[in-house]
Amino acid sequence: MTSEIFEKNLIALERIDPTLAETIRSVAPDRDDLYLERARSGRTVVKKDGILLHSAYDPQKEAATWVASAAPGVPRGICVLGSALGYHLQELADRGFRGSFIEPDPTLFRLALEHQDLTAVLAQFRPLVGIPLERLRRAHRDPLAGEIVPHPASLRSNPSYFSPLIDYARALALVRRGGMKILLINPLYGGSLPAARHSAAALKQMGHTVEVFNSEAFDQGREFAAGFTSPAHRSTFTSGLVSLLGQGIELKAQEFQPDLVLALAQAPLHLRTLGRLEQMEIPTAFWFVEDYRALPYWRELAPGYSYFFGIQRGDFPTQLEQCGVKNYAYLPTAAAPDIHAPVELTREERDEYGSPLSFVGAGYHNRERFFRGLTDFSLKIWGSDWPLTQPLAPFIQRDAAWVDTRSAVKIFNASAVNLNLHSSTYHEGIDPAGDFVNPRTFEIAACSALQLVDRRALLPELFSEDELETYGSMEELREKIHRHLADPDARRRVAAKGRARVLAEHTYGARMEELLATMICAYPTIARRREARGANLRTLREKLELIPGMAPILGKIPAGSPLDLQALRDAIGKEPGTLSRGERILLMLDNIRTAGVDNP
């Protein structure tokens, strides 16, 4: 009987998730901490670590009672935390609920499949079983952000898994409601600027109010500093510039009153400014989208941030901890799908940007050495800092001019095979210990273009093998180039899967959701501020609606969006000659707020 039900369930599971079915089949059915016994009603129940996950009397009746009290009144999509032996899932499925359920313990789920007919459950609920928390947060954001229904006994039996998950799910739901106020500090210069801009765009798209501190406007000051002959003078001047920008950030924070400050690598924030922001009770997040080994300045600043996000694991978290960093999370880079996307190219563009094999990126030492082995291919190399010398000179495009994002997207789209080799200043080719994944990996995939990327320690958890091609040596690379150049269909298949993965998991929107939700979990004040503003917002809107003439203006401001004088002023009609009395009064109030009434 048990084996018959198990096989029936496994067939149903294979249909929806063959990998999980395979895992479950290979899981050992017995474990010391799991103990089966009979309830008085005769049904099988399970104890985990001595905690009974069902009623010892009648688990089916218990499930019915629980569903009636804990589940939403009307059947809809939900995410159930904990499968136990599945009585409550059966009851939910019977009542028409659907969605997903999360169970960290594959053995426990196997027991459920052995003892209950869960085919109806599997038809209506997607099982998310045995998935580590971090992977769950990154790959299954939608169920988490939906309606969470925890199974109480499962919660009791595994609080270390479910409690943070519940906190995170609540935070994620709040993040998805928008309405947070975020001060985003752009870097003064460098490669992290696009990431900052993509992050700002994603946050705005999510409905948050983002004030961007455009530090890059002062980059000329850095260039100016280069004019000093003495390094000490240069350093003094640059440090003064950073100090000035720090004051600017502080003033902006005072004016804007953000829920949190997000700074990208190379943002001009020093410890003094971070300390002042902390005094203002504004949590700060730093997304260090750089290689910690190449840019060591993080050591000085990291302890000043409330939360440090980086693109590396390994030794990095330990080093951060030794510097005094309390909160660290791994947050890889991403792609911006509205920019990095498949594009229709004209014939001229295909001729200009296209080639069987291409590379976009700066001419680092390892690339310059490694690509010498590809000169028998029809190769185009795009990007700056390439030495225009033999043997690569004939392949370098536009005299090694810098390539803007739009052109890069066209190149990715127009090339049959896109090369990706992570940079190194001292390796002769592939960095065998390379860990982080560069933005180009996500960007090429987002364009639905095929890429061959050098193997990186952190790549497998971001892409599976059929979503992009990897290489670990020149021989392997050459073999794969030949293979893919000869098989356009295979190229398309791999590229399409790569794009699907990026859209599902690796967009800046997804990263910002993860960052904000993580911050909210660590700093509940962010949520409280956001909620308080939301409540005030509703009251304020109600009060404003009572003012004659306000309805058309309020109608232009989406519910839930920040409601302040600036928003009201921006919503004032632009049609010529139509300024109403109410609109004029709002403009007058805005004048008072910004300039006063007696300015010259």
Partner 1 sequence: MKEILIINLGRYGDLIQTTPLLRVLKETYPSARVTLVAQKRFGAILPLISRYDRCILLDQDGLTRTLATSEGIPAAYGALEQFLGSMEGVRYDLVLNLTSSDFSAHLVALMDAAVVAGKTSDRDGRTLAMGEWGLYLYSFLRGDSRRYNRINLTDIFCNMAGLVPHGRPVELHETEEGRRSASTLLNRVGKIDLPLVALQLGASDPGRCWPAASFARLSDLLQETAGVRTVLLGSPGERTLADQARALMKHDPVDAVGSTDIQGLFSTLRRCTLLVSNDTGTLHFAAAGGIPTVMLAVGPASFFCTGPSSAGNLALRPPLPCFPCRYDLPCGNPVCRDSITVESVYNACRLLLGTPLPEGDGYGIGLYRSDFAPDGYLQWQPLCHGNHDGEKLTRRYARLWKKVLGSGFKVQGSRFEVRGSEFKVQGSRFSHGDAPEPLFPELLRLTTEGRRVTQEIMTAAKLTPLPLSRISALGEEEAGLESDIRCLAVTNPDLSPLVDFMTILKENIAATDLHAIAATTHDIYARISHLVALL
The three-class DSSP label of residue 80 is strand
For residue 474, the minimal CB distance to partner 1 (Å) is 60
| Closer residue to partner 1 (CB): 189 or 256 | 256
| Closer residue to partner 1 (CB): 486 or 595 | 595
Q: Please say whether the beta carbons of 122 and 13 come within 8 A.
A: yes
| Closer residue to partner 1 (CB): 375 or 594 | 594
| Closer residue to partner 1 (CB): 322 or 539 | 539
For residue 543, the minimal CB distance to partner 1 (Å) is 4
DSSP string, 342-381: -----HHHHHHH-EEEEEES---HHHHHHGGGGTTS-EEE
| Closer residue to partner 1 (CB): 41 or 591 | 591
For residue 589, the minimal CB distance to partner 1 (Å) is 6
| Closer residue to partner 1 (CB): 227 or 596 | 596
- C-alpha 434/C-alpha 294 separation (Å) is 12
Task: Give the count of alpha carbons within 13 A of 372, CB side only.
Answer: 12
Locate all alpha helices (DSSP H) within 17-118, ordered by sequence: 18-26, 59-70, 87-94, 106-115
Helix-, strand-, coil-residue percentages of the chain, each rounded to 5: 50, 15, 35
| Closer residue to partner 1 (CB): 239 or 536 | 536
**Residue 96's CB: how many other CB atoms inside 10 A?**
10
- C-alpha 504/C-alpha 513 separation (Å) is 13
| Closer residue to partner 1 (CB): 42 or 596 | 596
For residue 524, the minimal CB distance to partner 1 (Å) is 22
The closest of 417, 359, 409 to 194, measured between CA atoms, is: 409
For residue 519, the minimal CB distance to partner 1 (Å) is 23
| Closer residue to partner 1 (CB): 1 or 595 | 595
The two structure tokens encoding residue 286: 């730093």
Residues 6 or more apart in contact with residue 535 via CB below 8 angstroms: none
For residue 533, the minimal CB distance to partner 1 (Å) is 8
- C-alpha 406/C-alpha 422 separation (Å) is 21
Distances (CA, A) of 141 to 39, 234, 506, 514: 37, 47, 12, 9
| Closer residue to partner 1 (CB): 414 or 553 | 553
The three-class DSSP label of residue 492 is helix
Task: Give the count of alpha carbons within 13 A of 69, CB side only.
Answer: 7
For residue 548, the minimal CB distance to partner 1 (Å) is 10
For residue 550, the minimal CB distance to partner 1 (Å) is 8
Distances (CA, A) of 294 to 223, 487, 556: 22, 38, 48
**Angle between helix 106-115 and helix 18-26 axes, rounded to 10 deg:** 90
Binding site for partner 1 (CB under 8 A): 536-537, 539-540, 543-544, 546-547, 562-565, 568, 572, 576-579, 581, 583-589, 591-593, 595-600
Q: Please say whether the beta carbons of 477 and 271 come within 8 A.
A: no
For residue 241, the minimal CB distance to partner 1 (Å) is 17
| Closer residue to partner 1 (CB): 75 or 221 | 221
- C-alpha 60/C-alpha 172 separation (Å) is 32
Measure CA 219 to chain center.
Answer: 28
- C-alpha 589/C-alpha 99 separation (Å) is 49
| Closer residue to partner 1 (CB): 255 or 300 | 255
| Closer residue to partner 1 (CB): 229 or 578 | 578
For residue 559, the minimal CB distance to partner 1 (Å) is 15
Dihedral (CA of 449, 450, 455, 461) sign: positive
For residue 596, the minimal CB distance to partner 1 (Å) is 7
The three-class DSSP label of residue 471 is strand
| Closer residue to partner 1 (CB): 38 or 543 | 543
Locate all alpha helices (DSSP H) within 206-334, ordered by sequence: 219-225, 231-256, 271-279, 298-301, 316-323
Q: Please say whether the beta carbons of 403 and 360 come within 8 A.
A: yes
For residue 557, the minimal CB distance to partner 1 (Å) is 12
For residue 579, the minimal CB distance to partner 1 (Å) is 5
| Closer residue to partner 1 (CB): 166 or 540 | 540
For residue 227, the minimal CB distance to partner 1 (Å) is 19
Q: Phi, psi (5° rounding) for residue 258? A: -75, 160
- Report which DSSP code applies to 397: G
- C-alpha 511/C-alpha 402 separation (Å) is 27
Q: Please say whether the beta carbons of 312 and 458 come within 8 A.
A: yes
The three-class DSSP label of residue 418 is strand
For residue 183, the minimal CB distance to partner 1 (Å) is 17
- C-alpha 470/C-alpha 460 separation (Å) is 10
